[in-house]
Chain A
Amino acid sequence: MSGTFLGMPGNFPKNAEKAVQDSQLRFNLRKATHTIRGKRASVVDELPDWQELRAAGKAIKDETLRHLDRYLVQLEDAVTGAGGHVHWARDAAEANRIVTGLVKATGESEVVKVKSMATQEIGLNEALAEHGITAYETDLAELIVQLGDDFPSHILVPAIHRNRAEIREIFLDKMAETPEGLTDEPAALAEAARLHLRERFLRSKVAISGANFMVAETGTLVVLESEGNGRMCLTLPETLISVVGIEKLLPSWRDLEVFLQLLPRSSTGERMNPYTSMWTGATEGQDFHLVLLDNGRTDVLADEVGRQALRCIRCSACLNVCPVYERAGGHAYGSVYPGPIGAILTPQLRGMGSELDASLPYASSLCGACYDVCPVAIDIPEVLVDLRAKAPHGRAERAGMRVAGWVLGNEVRLAKAQRLATRFRKLVPRRLPGPLSAWTDTRDLPEIPEESFRDWWERHERP
């Protein structure tokens, strides 16, 4: 069973410090993120109207959020009209209670799962286990994480921190049966996963999924995937339970024409992912339940700057280009949502009460690469800066900032301070004492010039 991130101790800098010393991890991450960057760039460049699609994607999501209440009710009507059942969950505990109840009502004690960020966010597998229900992850990367008793470290590829040799070791160690002479060739590893899950797919009675999109107008749910494990789970079991965040909505059927272009190219760097399933209500005799999840989303929605994070379609392009993610890895973020999007989503969904969550808005150099690649144009640096202002700050820091504001806010005071600093420039140590040493441990203190620019300008411009 993979672990849960909830209540994880530490903070981002401490976690990252450990991660950057792991040379294998850095090698794996560098290789994977650079591969995907190249693939994404080439399929995005292929479309002459990428920026127009991006603008439409942003606006469609903003429109959804602006009238989310209306669209949710419309969705509920459409799903119910097509024979499905709709449930509403205020938080993780309520969602877990609903799903556990639905599974128990079927009399089954095993469920198969399609990779879903929402169910990871609420710790559904652990909640089911408490009631004697075993959840089997079927996505290859999720399987690697689950078998390895590990944490996911990427939105799209949760086992991105593992290379092929490590995956082979996990399979040999944890799978009941592996093909004889299993090599670390990716095709052989995929074959092992196929054999491992085949029987389970064919006999499972209950499946749990998330969804990439829900269409309010028609009540249609959409799941994009690659392996066919999604199709197996969505199609074969008698009961299908989908747990979906309330922001995953699109107003109209037509809007899919935008997102089915934006998402595959941004996430796996393909023109189209191998399989996309769309279904409306109870399909081909299935019993269908939709659980709509809030769990902090309405708090994010109330924040004028932060609400743009709810446009996210979980493509993970921002992770793949982020210089901080590439070095620190996903675990350092202590959340199912790592990388730049995690740094703005997690502190908003969970609040900044813990040391870890309060440190996340600082897990960035504000370089802006994430904003450039985001298919729905989330201005991640803008939200990071806004969250930094809202994060708790120590008394000494606040006092220091007040003094700095007082000096920098007035040109006479600034000129005086600069002259004072120039006069005593020889006395400034190369390394700062006390808590300030944290800065100079890894950086050179800039030298104070003999004369400030203002004074130099005065001297040269005055006749």
Chain B
Amino acid sequence: MSAREEILGRIRQAVRDAPEVGIPRGYRTAARVDDLVGLFAERVDDYRAIVHVLPSAEVPAKIAELVRGRRMVVPDGLPEEWAGEAERAGGSLADLDAAGGVVTGCAVAIAETGTIVLDAGPGQGTRAQTLVPDYHLCVVRADQIVAGVPEAVARLDPARPLTWISGPSATSDIELNRVEGVHGPRTLEVIVST
């Protein structure tokens, strides 16, 4: 008998008398948050990421200021006004490693947890592009922010590769205290465009 058949057979034998289960979903699926932008900014800041909240018209100038002098990775599909006049990095792994940062948009953001989700869609780059450079500048449009985790899960497409980002790379492995900066981007800067 194949391992597959044997394991499935053992499972059927093991649970044949187990009771059926109902799933109570009494938790919040649509949290009420009065100030989504404010809460999101506060929670991102808690992770020691840098946050700016700006009217959309001021975003391009802010990006230009932040990326000046850096060779930036600019993913396909990023709005031209966000790409700025930064010097563009190449596409090889070595280029990414040598780049001064990456600038992206996002798919959705979560206020309660201060989380940004990338789904590799237009302007979000491949997973490697947002991982290898040491600096990640992410622009979040105010209408992309949802209150809680359930709202975000409902908006996302599981067929796409998803990366949930909550603050810069960190570790709790030394005496169980959070320390920023291991293998992922050590600086996360977020612009919320209102």
Please give the residue numbers on chain A whose beta carbons come within 8 Å of chain B beta carbons, in ascending order.
28, 31-33, 35-36, 48-49, 52-53, 55-56, 59-60, 62-63, 65-69, 72-73, 82, 88-90, 94, 138-141, 144, 156-157, 159-160, 163-164, 167, 186-187, 189-191, 193-194, 197-198, 201-202, 215, 218, 220, 226-229, 231-232, 234-236, 246, 253-254, 256-258, 260-261, 268, 270-280, 283-284, 292, 294, 298-299, 301-302, 304, 307
* Inter-subunit contact A253/B131 (CB<8 Å): no
Q: Known contacts being A59-B22, A90-B3, A94-B3, is A164 close to B169, with CB within 8 Å?
A: no
Q: Known contacts being A228-B182, A254-B153, is A271 close to B43, with CB within 8 Å?
A: yes
Chain A residues closer than 8 Å to B172, beta-carbon distance: 36, 156-157, 226, 268
Q: Among A73, A144, A197, A231, which residue has its beta carbon within 8 angstroms of that of B184?
A: A231
Q: Among A49, A69, A186, which residue has its beta carbon within 8 angstroms of that of B11?
A: A69
Given contact pairs A35-B175, A278-B158, A307-B14, enumerate 19 new A-B contacts (beta carbons under 8 Å). A52-B27, A68-B11, A82-B159, A88-B4, A186-B174, A190-B179, A191-B181, A226-B182, A228-B184, A228-B185, A231-B184, A253-B158, A257-B149, A271-B46, A271-B112, A275-B169, A276-B162, A284-B161, A298-B10
Q: Among B24, B94, B158, B174, which residue has its beta carbon within 8 angstroms of that of A59?
A: B24
* Inter-subunit contact A292/B7 (CB<8 Å): yes
Q: Known contacts being A69-B11, A157-B173, A256-B153, is A275 close to B164, with CB within 8 Å?
A: yes
Taken together as a complex, chains A and B put the C-alpha atoms of A213 and B65 apart, in Å, by 41
CB distance from A188 to the nearest CB of B (A): 10
In the complex, whether B20 has a CB less than 8 A from a CB of chain A is yes
Q: Among B18, B22, B43, B165, which residue has its beta carbon within 8 angstroms of that of A274?
A: B165
* Inter-subunit contact A274/B11 (CB<8 Å): no
Interface string of B104-131 (1 = CB under 8 A from A): 0000001011110000100000111001
In the complex, whether B84 has a CB less than 8 A from a CB of chain A is no
Q: Known contacts being A187-B179, A301-B14, is A232 close to B131, with CB within 8 Å?
A: yes
* Inter-subunit contact A187/B153 (CB<8 Å): no
CB distance from B124 to the nearest CB of A (A): 13
Taken together as a complex, chains A and B put the C-alpha atoms of A55 and B25 apart, in Å, by 8
* Inter-subunit contact B11/A231 (CB<8 Å): no
CB distance from B156 to the nearest CB of A (A): 8
Interface string of B31-53 (1 = CB under 8 A from A): 00000000000010011000000
Q: Lowest 7 A-B CB distances belong to which pairs?
A: A228-B184, A228-B183, A227-B182, A302-B14, A276-B164, A298-B10, A257-B150
Chain B residues closer than 8 Å to A164, beta-carbon distance: 174-175
Taken together as a complex, chains A and B put the C-alpha atoms of A220 and B119 apart, in Å, by 14
In the complex, whether B75 has a CB less than 8 A from a CB of chain A is no
* Inter-subunit contact B28/A35 (CB<8 Å): no
* Inter-subunit contact B23/A60 (CB<8 Å): yes
Chain A residues closer than 8 Å to B180, beta-carbon distance: 187
* Inter-subunit contact A160/B184 (CB<8 Å): no
* Inter-subunit contact A35/B176 (CB<8 Å): yes
